[in-house]
Structure 1
């Protein structure tokens, strides 16, 4: 999870998911290859080079990345036949992932420090910025057909991409455990209210097992069989119920007139809102690699996550203000306000966030561990997340998770500039595992990209310490992007 993702009593970022497929047939005729390249190249902008896997790559397995399971192999570009996601699929998936209790909790943090009117304005601005960046990152997955961490090889180098892959796997385990804890606590609160009993141990195992089974099944099955069929309708019903209850039970006009206490700056509020969509940057390509066209991926993500982020940040802010401010009483306020059934529906949907964390942890690991299949790794990470949720106090893990998360905003500033401006959305699949090829750089490490990334991380920490009211997420992303562009500007022709 990227950016400043607050935790427990703060906003929480999180992650996403899956990977690729059987390798393309490398024995196509030249006309077939041309047609395939033309079809898969019909993206938002410039075409990328062929997504086919080079025979030399097949003959010489990559010691750094491995197979990781034939269906979701991170370094195998998804072939056209398996690119099943259109605009509707992308919308359903990202609308679902954008709605959740953690998003509402993040919205509740904006008040009463800001007035409700200013909080809603910050939500609108932050959502617009964050969701556009998220959708652009999603285009990389559709352009390349690669899993998120694998798609970083052209930017960081064949070996260099292993660094964020390891960090991503570590943070996703933490956030997966935290999602299980959130679901457990919410379900236990609802059970106490409805039936008068508490069984947190059982809830932990149930939600951990459910998320793990979904992660093993993969995103193609999850989106088509669950989300598009009935999951999104449950979600819409729950969200609509909560919204109707809010408008029926509370004087919204009076709350809009109430001034803020001044404890939160407007810039800090925007940064808090931006942090949530940016927290999905290290994962989005795990989904969007299955997109048919980049334009469909972009529109579906933009609309799905954009609407969800606006809706639930706003709900969280209003319900939080009605509960007295902050997120501490938000869940009980939602339940006691007549939204118990709606909250239950939202809670069921929250499983998809844990599923995304677990599955993407497996895919990230598959990019640097040759022997692990994605289903096997998903089962292992699901068990680990459940065990952590049972045994580890998350309060002691939060700062570590946030520190790791902070490195991804500047990283994706570098990645977005490299993909869209420097390489003009082109990629050579055959060079992804070749230390002597285009992405070999210096012994597999692209030093210019790493220097720009480190500068962005330093900027993030400096802004957080000395200008906390400004918000560090977006500035660090921009600084990393600008530094990288300056470093490679003299060598731009090498990517043409």
Structure 2
């Protein structure tokens, strides 16, 4: 028994290399995936309950047109640019995020971004688990909620344990039902208010009660998916062509999330809740049943992909089998899911400030400092630490936090913390790299 447990826990490099999605090395050409399954998986991943939550929050404080649509498009557009930059790196190198962090932060320094991002993505996993429980129980404090949430955590963990092929099989049948139910939910809300003009009038009335600034709205949208944008390489590494690598973040952030944010905002404006399962259940058992099934499929796909992210990254850095990190991360996400879902907006604000600066040094290192010369063959011979990357991240995170909590008042109303932190980490890393290069060149002269 102990020998089997030890074998399960210990990394077998040959076994991992033969899997569909080896997290420890760049993918081989045979491990790349076809375009359509990847894009279907992207749509399912993007169909995250986060969009409904974000849309519901936007609908409470912004008039649907033009303010809400503008905030949603700007925020998703910003995330798409970041996701495309990161996604292209993943496509060109065939490396996941954990491997990319090692190029920039060093083999030991990569522990910092990987642990940080893993903790946050496990939190996302918890939100998905909680959302699944709420969809079926319609409450947070019933026995049904806890039983369903725990069952969802087990389901997500089991599917992810089987790898990316299983994720594709879950996502493919979900797409058509998700679109159909989303369109029906849109029609239902408009029909309930008596048409588009009545809906627009109701939206303006709702927004006047508790107005939200465009600044807060865009930052909310950016924060809602910035984690997905910075880990885009974990999916685009499977792409066989560059256009697929760019299409994946486009499908996730421009199509899926914008669609969901619109549905969530409509539900919040008309029905008082972004949860379309709640108001579809009010239409009768059959409509409610299809709403529950659609939401369950969406959350299943989302839960799998959210768990896949920290499992792959931690396996890469800590050199453990993906099955081990999948089980550990899945267990942690399931436990978090019993309580974190209720604190969604607080979680988003934290993400918006602290996560974007993590990827800043990687983007600059790849595109400007090393000029697209990340050599996967040198992974085991990289430097242990890159203090410049760590310093750049800390500078970016500190700047974003200062803006978020209005420490720097003149800037607090004109800069988005998420993008400000990212830009500051990028600028800091570039400047520090140039200075370090100049000092290194002068050392022989000084000697």
The structure carrying a bigger helix percent of its residues is 2
1:274 aligns to 2:222 (yes or no): yes
Q: Of the candidates 89, 97, 105, which is equivalent to residue 53 of structure 2? A: 105
1:76 deviates by 0.6
1:368 aligns to 2:317 (yes or no): yes
Q: Does the 8 Å CA contact 1:238/1:343 hold for their aligned counterparts?
A: no
2:163 matched to which residue of 1?
A: 218
1:231 matched to which residue of 2?
A: 174
CA RMSD of aligned residues (A): 3.0
2:90 matched to which residue of 1?
A: 141
Pick closer, same or farther for the CA change 1:142–1:279 going to 2, 3 Å: same
Q: Of the candidates 190, 193, 209, which is equivalent to residue 247 of structure 1? A: 190
1:288 deviates by 1.6
Distance 2:344 2:39 in 1: 32
Pick closer, same or farther for the CA change 1:405–1:112 going to 2, 3 Å: closer
Q: Any idea what the Cα deviations from partners look like across 1:266-319, whole Å, max 9, x if unmatched?
A: 011111112233121343222221111233211233134311111111111121
Q: Of the candidates 65, 68, 75, which is equivalent to residue 24 of structure 2? A: 75
2:236 matched to which residue of 1?
A: 288
Q: Any idea what the Cα deviations from partners look like across 1:225-259, whole Å, max 9, x if unmatched?
A: 3323x222222222222223233333332332425
1:417 matched to which residue of 2?
A: 364
1:397 deviates by 10
Pick closer, same or farther for the CA change 1:280–1:244 going to 2, 3 Å: same
1:332 aligns to 2:278 (yes or no): yes
Q: Does the 8 Å CA contact 1:319/1:334 hold for their aligned counterparts?
A: no
SS of aligned partner of 1:425: coil
Q: Does the 8 Å CA contact 1:100/1:350 hold for their aligned counterparts?
A: yes
Spell out the pairing of 1:5-20 with structure 2 (5 A cutoff): none
Q: Does the 8 Å CA contact 1:91/1:305 hold for their aligned counterparts?
A: no
1:410 deviates by 1.2
Spell out the pairing of 1:97-496 with structure 2 (5 A cutoff): 97-117=45-65, 118-189=67-138, 199-223=144-168, 225-228=169-172, 230-250=173-193, 251-257=195-201, 258=204, 260-261=207-208, 263-324=211-272, 327=274, 331-336=277-282, 340=288, 341-370=290-319, 372-390=320-338, 403=350, 406-434=353-381, 439-440=382-383, 444-466=384-406, 469=413, 470-489=415-434
Distance 1:295 1:271 in 2: 28
1:403 deviates by 4.0
Q: Any idea what the Cα deviations from partners look like across 1:438-494, whole Å, max 9, x if unmatched?
A: x41xxx211222211111101111001115555311121112112222222356799
Distance 2:387 2:12 in 1: 24
SS of aligned partner of 1:199: helix
SS of aligned partner of 1:479: helix
2:445 matched to which residue of 1?
A: none
1:377 deviates by 2.3
Distance 2:165 2:117 in 1: 22
Q: Which TM-score applies when normalising by structure 1? A: 0.75
Q: Of the candidates 91, 95, 103, which is equivalent to residue 43 of structure 2? A: 95
Q: Structure 1 residue runs of 4+, over 6 Å off?
A: 491-494
Pick closer, same or farther for the CA change 1:90–1:158 going to 2, 3 Å: same
Distance 1:383 1:313 in 2: 29
Q: Does the 8 Å CA contact 2:126/2:340 hold for their aligned counterparts?
A: no
Pick closer, same or farther for the CA change 1:448–1:380 going to 2, 3 Å: closer
Gaps of 5+ in 2: 1-10, 441-447
Q: Does the 8 Å CA contact 1:112/1:321 hold for their aligned counterparts?
A: yes
Distance 1:416 1:317 in 2: 33
Pick closer, same or farther for the CA change 1:450–1:388 going to 2, 3 Å: closer
Q: Does the 8 Å CA contact 1:95/1:305 hold for their aligned counterparts?
A: no
1:61 matched to which residue of 2?
A: none
Q: Does the 8 Å CA contact 2:51/2:258 hold for their aligned counterparts?
A: no
